[in-house]
Amino acid sequence: MQLEALRGCKVAIWGFGREGRAALLAVRRACPGQGLVVLCSAAEREDVAGLNLDHVDIDCSVVDATVLRRFDVVIKSPGISPYQVAVEAAADTGVRFVSGSQLWFAAHRSARTICVTATKGKSTTTSLIAHLLRSLGVRTGLAGNIGLPLLEVLDPDEPPAIWVIELSSFQTRDADAKPTLAVINNLLEEHLDWHGSVTRYRQDKLALIQGAEQVLLNASDPVLAAMPTDGSRGSTHWYNQAQGWHVAGCFICHGRDAVFPIDQLPIPGRHNAENACAALAAIALLGYDAILAAPALATFQPLPHRLQTLGVRSGIRYINDSIATTPAAALAAYEFAARNGLPVAQIVGGHDRGLDWQDFIARMCRQPPTALIWTGAAGARVFASLTDAERAAMRAQFAAGFDAAFALAQLALSATQDRSERGTVLLSPGAPSFGQFKDYVARGKHFAELAGFASDDIAGIAGLGIA
């Protein structure tokens, strides 16, 4: 749907985070003078009113099917699930639901786009692709779920040669994207409260590759590797295969050639080396010289809240991995933090989406941290399900609040006070922040403050926009 098609329609903007704000301003520019309604919470009313836009009404009532049926078109923020009863009931009567991403792609059908999604690693991979392209002198746009809504860069004065776009599972479902290249790193399980099931989560993710000219997938992901070739997608390519870009020993390799030493990569962990392989494979598929670009990996600026070492205070190292919202990501972070052999006290838990923690629990029982502090609704559910033997094996404790969890993690390292470095307090929660914090950024910054670091020093994501 083109923005201009909204003229004369009864239009609502549903949700007023950054995506909702971008949608409101984009519609106002495309359709000046048209009446609009913003459906938002009472807490967001002041933000909407502060824009001082004419012909914009604010409705903070509970959104149900009756409210939605007042409109011809509802531009829905990504975090609002389309599977809720109110949406389905309104859609059945002809209300059309669109997204900011869908509106952007409708206006950029001829643009060259690399679209990236994954359960974990999508932001890093997206940023790496943009960084490598820019190192080759390619004017590149970096936007999407990574922190810059697409509608904020709807009509740039000087468009980039290529757009690199991160899309969440909330966005891939209805973006109607036709990427030049679609990249998927992995398909685990996440956001079950939004999608309703693992099957539907994966289907919504895989909507990205329908209509893509080319597709790049991770050969080491069992779900992706098992996908049938049914002709519904463009030509499919793989990374993490020996004949292509992969990690072998201490190097990122292309075929038999060792190209880049992993210890020069500024982002830790094998999974990040594999993300770099995805980025190199992606730019090569679009015709750029990946071998020439590879040395630029050394100058990549790590993204905040992703295995971010804040520093050391009183012999304790603090690692902020607040972005980790799946058990698999929390497990990978623990393996990274524990690799130096020093004690680790890990904080896990947050908003409960009903994910399966069994693999995480089994691994922690075999090789336990010094302390595993559960908190939040997810922590309460999982901790309650543990047997006494499991709690003892993984040295598990429960804390009702985040600050209490932090204090218990610090206390667990007090017995190692004779060492110059007593160990690591790791925030890698494996769950979203909702209910305790506004978002993972707020959670990570609060963790930094508790540890004695200036949260304002945690920079945003570098390179957003066009450069």
pLDDT score for 195: 80
What is the value of pTM for the model shown? 0.87
User: Cα separation of 87 and 69, whole Å?
Assistant: 9
Every domain range in the chain assigned CATH 3.40.50.720: 7-98
Q: Work out the number of other CB atoms within 10 angstroms of the CB of residue 378.
A: 25
Using only the alpha carbons of the chain, give its radius of gyration: 23
User: Cα separation of 107 and 177, whole Å?
Assistant: 11
Q: Which CATH class is domain 7-98?
A: alpha beta
pLDDT score for 322: 96
* Among 349, 351, 353, CA closest to 361: 349
User: Cα separation of 288 and 136, whole Å?
Assistant: 8
* Among 191, 456, 399, CA closest to 444: 456
Q: Quick check: helix, strand or coil at residue 58? A: strand
What size, in residues, is the chain?
467
Q: Are strands 113-117 and 96-98 parallel, antiparallel or unpaired?
A: unpaired
Assigned CATH for 308-457: 3.90.190.20
DSSP 267-330: S-SHHHHHHHHHHHHHHHHTT--HHHHGGGGGGPPPPTTSSEEEEEETTEEEEE-TT--SHHHH
User: Cα separation of 110 and 123, whole Å?
Assistant: 24
**Full pLDDT tens readout for the chain, 467 residues:** 899 999 999 999 999 989 999 999 999 999 998 999 999 999 899 999 999 999 999 999 999 999 999 999 999 999 899 999 999 999 999 999 999 999 999 999 999 999 999 988 999 999 999 999 999 999 999 999 998 999 999 999 999 999 999 999 889 999 999 999 999 999 987 777 778 788 898 999 999 999 899 999 999 999 999 987 766 677 999 999 999 999 999 999 999 999 999 999 999 889 999 999 999 999 999 999 999 999 999 999 988 999 999 999 989 999 999 999 999 999 999 999 998 889 999 999 999 988 899 999 999 999 999 999 999 999 999 999 999 999 999 999 999 999 999 999 999 998 665 566 789 999 999 999 988 898 899 999 999 999 999 988 787 888 999 99
H-only helix segments in 50-150? 65-68, 85-92, 100-107, 122-135
| The two structure tokens encoding residue 446 | 């609060």
pLDDT score for 418: 58
Query: What are the phi and psi torsion angles at 449 (to 5°)?
Result: -65, -40
Architecture of domain 102-303: 3-Layer(aba) Sandwich (3.40)
Spatial contact of 145 and 216, defined as CB atoms under 8 Å apart: no
User: Cα separation of 251 and 125, whole Å?
Assistant: 18
Every domain range in the chain assigned CATH 3.90.190.20: 308-457
Residue 121 CA from chain centroid, whole number = 7
Q: What's the Cα-to-Cα distance from 358 to each of 188, 320, 382, rounded to whole Å? A: 14, 23, 9
State the burial class of residue 19 (Cβ atoms within 10 Å of its Cβ: 0-12, 13-18, 19+). Answer: buried
Every domain range in the chain assigned CATH 3.40.1190.10: 102-303
Beta pairing partners, 372: 346, 396
